[in-house]
Structure 1
Amino acid sequence: MAFIRSVLHALWMLVTVVPWGIIMCVSSLWKRGIPLYWMAEQWLSWAIGGARVLLGIQTRVTGMENLPADKLAGAVLLVKHQSTFETFLMPTLMPHPLAFVFKKELIYVPFFGWAMARLDMIHIDRSQRAQAFNKVVNQGRKLLAQGIWIIMFPEGTRIPRGQKGTYKSGGTRLACETGVPVIPIAVTSAKVWPRKAFIKRPGVVDVSIGPAIPSVGRKPDELMREVEAWIESEMRRLDPEAYHDSLPLPQAPQEVR
């Protein structure tokens, strides 16, 4: 049954992404920026709705009150990355437009990538690290000034359930450069949508949004250790059976008073 449901969802994604990608590319000839973003968010809502109806995947979100309330307040969202699901889900949850930082190869994916290329996203060449980070800071600063939040996956890639990747400090470096807070977010998507798996299963994905952490006066590596400690601790609280024999938690840096 899970296989059949997964096939139906894949077909749903295929038959909706083709016309959506075409409409996005055509619309971008006269419409750009935030209005085009909300057009893109509509397809992501269809993808999440399809997962709910066809796959039986529900979402349970806590911590929305931790998001900055000001309309033009900036933020860098740092999200646990276990599957494609949270990539689709996050724009449907957030009150602000999001700009993903992603590898430039994705813009060549037919229809989906073509549409992404028309949006105000930050696509980088990961083989050129210094230039890539400069691009993230320069574009990120402009987008944050417009009230667009930057979203990054600090582990860099999808991580199997119950495991922890290497947290890289690019997101906290951007936050420290621009003075905006970071928002750590834990997601348990691998319980129902495993990494690189075609077959998905019914269940609940928990999304926990942590308190905003100020970046002013902080060092990026120290700030990332605090983000890592919060996310990994929260993952163990949300999905304890996945971490029963895992390594000890990283320790958050202690603030000296």
Structure 2
Amino acid sequence: MMLGTKKGYFTLEAAIFLPIFIIAIAALGYFIKIFSTAENITFSAVDETAHLAAQAYGVKAAPIFPAAVERRLRIENEQADNIKVSRFRYLYEEGGRDGLILLKLNYHIKIKLPLDLYDGVDLESRIKCRGFIGKAALANPMAFSEMETNGDSRIVWIFPMWGKKYHQEECTYIKANAKQLVLTGQIRKNYQPCLLCKPDRLPLGSLVYCFASTGKAYHQGSCKTIDKYAIEIEKEDALAKGYQPCSKCGGG
């Protein structure tokens, strides 16, 4: 007759719970991979949509935007495939609000499990925002004689999603952060592509970001070095949007 011992019980418990523990750790790793990839995809899509929203005042149609988003997501997310913009609406009206932008993404995140038990997960992301188009003007239209009068067309700099101050170009706040610029041959000549985000793949005309005073590289908006960025705008438009002069540089 054999009697159970504490050592035997521990061995039995280990045999039961160790596989469960290993499976739980592996599952956690797969979930982290899924969520991190989905987060990267959503961040890049939000970044592109924010840029489009910032330009909405002067861009009345964006037929190539879905293709540009898909291209960027494929370049930056090797763990995902079948990336498709399944729905895109630009400057539409809904629920009494105008200037809305809607982007719907479908994609597949590749997950390889042993024995080909599971090959990934299909996800969907939706982004909805309003373009920077201002509000409907209720005042009387400007007379033609007023249009011929030169107003204050001085260029100032603002942080479109951070704060409500406008600055001079030489302001230390502007110098310390990146500027949003349109990629041209001159920028490629004067700056090197960032080694982290590899913006050299972007076509001319794309939005890039440069630290004009301290940097020697240009970056994509998703680059980890870009914390916030400034754009140039006419002072008159900045005032109309509610921006106030910077207390440090005076705003210009």
TM-score of the pair, normalised by structure 2: 0.23
Q: Counting strand residues as a fraction of each chain, which structure ranks higher? A: 2
Q: Which has the higher helix share?
A: 1
Q: Which has the larger radius of gyration?
A: 2
Greater RCO between the two (CA within 8 Å, min separation 6)? 1
